[in-house]
Chain A
Amino acid sequence: MILHELIDYSTLKLIWWLLLGILLIGFAVTDGFDMGVGTLLPFVGETDTERRVAINSIGATWEGNQVWFILGGGAIFAAWPPLYAISFSGFYLAMFIVLAAMILRPVSFKYRSKRPDPSWRNGWDWALFVGSFVPALVFGVAVGNVLEGVPFTLDRDLRMTYEGSFFGLFTPFSLLCGLLSVSMLVMHGGAWLGLKTDGIVAVRGRRYGTVAAFAALVLFALGGYLVYSGYVEGYRITSEIDPNMPANPLFKKAVIEGSAWMANYSTYPWMMIAPALGFLGTFGALIGLQTRLEMLTFACSKLAVFGIISTVGVSMFPFLLPSSVQPDASLTVWDASSSHQTLFNMLVATVIFLPLVLAYTAWVYKVLWGKVDEATIERDNDTAY
Chain B
Amino acid sequence: MELDIVSLSRLQFAMTALYHFLFVPLTIGLSILLATMETVYVMTGREVWKRMVKFWGTLFGINFVLGVATGLTMEFQFGMNWSYYSQYVGDVFGAPLAIEGLMAFFLEATFVGLFFFGWDKLSKRQHLAATWAVAMGTNLSALWILIANGWMQHPVGSEFNPQTMRMEVTSFYEVLFNPVAQAKFVHTVSAGYVTASLFIVGISAWYLLKGRHIEIARRSIAVAAAFGFASALSVVVLGDESGYEANLNQKMKLATIEAMWETEPAPASFNLIAIPDMEARDNSFAIEVPYVMGLIATRSLTKEIPGIKELVERSKDRIRQGVIAWEALQKIRAADDAGQTVDEAVRNDFVINQHNLGYAYLLMPFAKDLTKATNEEIDAAAWSAVPNIWPMFYGFRIMVACGFFFILLTGVFFFLASTGKVEGLRFKGRWLLHVAVLSIPLPWIACEMGWFVAEYGRQPWIIEGMLPTHAAVSSLSVTEVLLTLAGFVALYSTLLVIEVSLMLKYIRKGPDDGGEPEAMPARTGGMSSIAAE
Contact = CB atoms under 8 A, between A and B. Distances in A.
Interface of A: 1, 59-61, 63-64, 66-67, 69-71, 73-79, 81-82, 84-89, 92-93, 95-96, 99-100, 102-107, 109-111, 114-115, 156-162, 246-248, 338-339, 341-342, 345-346, 349-350, 353-354, 357, 360-361, 364, 367-368, 383
B80 A96 contact: yes
Nearest to A345: B172
A92 B480 contact: yes
Contact of A81 (B94, B110, B117, B502): B94
Contacts of B105: 67, 70-71
Contacts of A79: 94, 98
Interface in B86-122: 86-87, 89-95, 97-103, 105-107, 109-114, 116-119, 121-122
B476 interface: yes
B54 to A, nearest CB: 9
Given A100-B487, A338-B94, A364-B114, A109 B65 contact: yes
Contacts of A159: 84, 87, 475
A337 to B, nearest CB: 9
Contacts of A342: 91-92, 94-95, 168-169, 172
Given A93-B484, A106-B69, 14 more contacts: A67-B101, A67-B109, A71-B98, A73-B75, A73-B79, A89-B80, A99-B73, A103-B491, A107-B65, A111-B498, A246-B163, A342-B169, A357-B106, A368-B121
Contacts of A109: 65
Contact of A59 (B68, B69, B117, B502): B117
Nearest to B512: A382
Given A81-B90, A159-B475, A64 B79 contact: no
A160 B106 CA distance: 33
Contact of A247 (B61, B118, B164, B476): B164
Contact of B113 (A61, A102, A107, A246): A61
B484 A162 contact: no
A55 B498 CA distance: 20
Contacts of A248: 163-165
Q: List 8 A-B pairs, minimum CB-CB distance, nearest first.
A: A81-B90, A88-B79, A78-B94, A77-B94, A64-B110, A60-B113, A71-B101, A74-B98
B76 A111 contact: no
Contact of B102 (A1, A345, A353, A361): A353
Which among B79, B122, B170, B488 has the highest number of chain A CB atoms within 10 Å?
B79
Contact of B66 (A107, A161, A247): A107
B280 interface: no
B325 to A, nearest CB: 14
Interface of B: 61-62, 64-66, 68-73, 75-76, 78-81, 83-87, 89-95, 97-103, 105-107, 109-114, 116-119, 121-122, 133, 161, 163-166, 168-173, 333, 474-476, 480, 483-484, 487-488, 491, 495, 498, 502, 505-506
Given A346-B95, A364-B114, A92 B80 contact: yes
Contacts of A104: 69
Contacts of B484: 92-93, 96
A64 B476 CA distance: 33
17 contacts: A1-B173, A63-B113, A67-B106, A70-B72, A71-B98, A75-B98, A99-B73, A110-B62, A156-B333, A157-B165, A338-B168, A339-B91, A341-B169, A342-B172, A349-B103, A367-B122, A383-B117
Contacts of A85: 79, 83-87, 90
Which among B81, B89, B169, B495 has the highest number of chain A CB atoms within 10 Å?
B169
A77 B76 CA distance: 9
Contacts of B118: 60, 367-368
A209 B137 CA distance: 36
A346 B103 CA distance: 12
Given A74-B97, A339-B91, A81 B113 contact: no
A311 B103 CA distance: 30
Contacts of A161: 475
A148 B500 CA distance: 46
Contacts of A115: 505
B487 A106 contact: no
Contacts of B169: 339, 341-342, 345
A86 B85 CA distance: 11
Nearest to B100: A74
Contacts of A69: 72
B69 A107 contact: yes
Contacts of B99: 74, 78, 346, 349, 353
Nearest to B474: A89
Contact of A103 (B73, B81, B85): B73
B451 to A, nearest CB: 21
A340 B452 CA distance: 35
B489 to A, nearest CB: 12
Contacts of B66: 106-107
B309 to A, nearest CB: 33
Contacts of B488: 100
A297 to B, nearest CB: 24
A85 B84 CA distance: 7
Contacts of A368: 113-114, 117-118, 121
B70 A77 contact: no
A258 B164 CA distance: 31
Contacts of A77: 78-79, 86, 90, 93-94, 97-98
Contacts of A339: 91, 161, 164, 168-169
Contact of B87 (A81, A92, A96, A111): A81
B214 to A, nearest CB: 24
Nearest to B117: A60
B223 to A, nearest CB: 24
Given A81-B166, A107-B495, A342-B169, A60 B116 contact: yes
Given A67-B101, A96-B80, A383 B116 contact: yes
A106 B110 contact: no
Which among A77, A79, A93, A114 has the highest number of chain B CB atoms within 10 Å?
A77
B98 A346 contact: yes
A89 B481 CA distance: 11
A35 B161 CA distance: 42
B65 A106 contact: yes
Given A92-B480, A345-B172, A81 B109 contact: no
Contact of A364 (B61, B73, B110): B110
A30 to B, nearest CB: 11
B505 A114 contact: yes
